[in-house]
Amino acid sequence: MTETNTNHLSWDEWDELHNPPPAVTDFDRVVERAVSRRGFLGVLALGSAAVAMGSVGNLLSSTSAQAQEAASRFPFKPIPIATDATVHVPEG
């Protein structure tokens, strides 16, 4: 048996020397199960369904109606974008 000089070890190295981590952790098992073929296909199907539902939702919504509703909530005329150092506020 060889002795290891522990004077130059960092705390993490010393801890791993005296308390070595397991080769396979619970997290590794969960990831392995999730990345299995069935898990991958399930995630793929769920992602595809979410994209399809998002696309249908966007097609059904009316952007102009949303813009008109948002404009009616504010009783002032919007101002253009300004990049100078002064504070700009709309009238009203």
pLDDT at residue 65 tops 80: no
- Considering the domain boundaries, does residue 7 fall inside one? no
3-state SS string for 19-71: CCCCCCCHHHHHHHHHCCHHHHHHHHHHHHHHHHHHHHHHHHCCHHHHHHHHH
Residue 34: which pLDDT band, with cuts at 50, 70 and 90? confident
pLDDT at residue 15 tops 70: yes
Domain that holds residue 45: 22-50
Write phi, then psi, for 71 (nearest 5 degrees): -70, -35
- Considering the domain boundaries, does residue 12 fall inside one? no
Q: CA 74 to CA 70: how far, in whole Å?
A: 7
The domain total for the chain is 1
Residue 69: which pLDDT band, with cuts at 50, 70 and 90? low
pLDDT at residue 66 tops 80: no
> Do the Cβ atoms of 4 and 17 come closer than 8 Å?
yes
Q: Is 13 helix (H, G, I), strand (E, B) or coil?
A: helix
What pLDDT shows up at residue 72?
65
- Considering the domain boundaries, does residue 43 fall inside one? yes
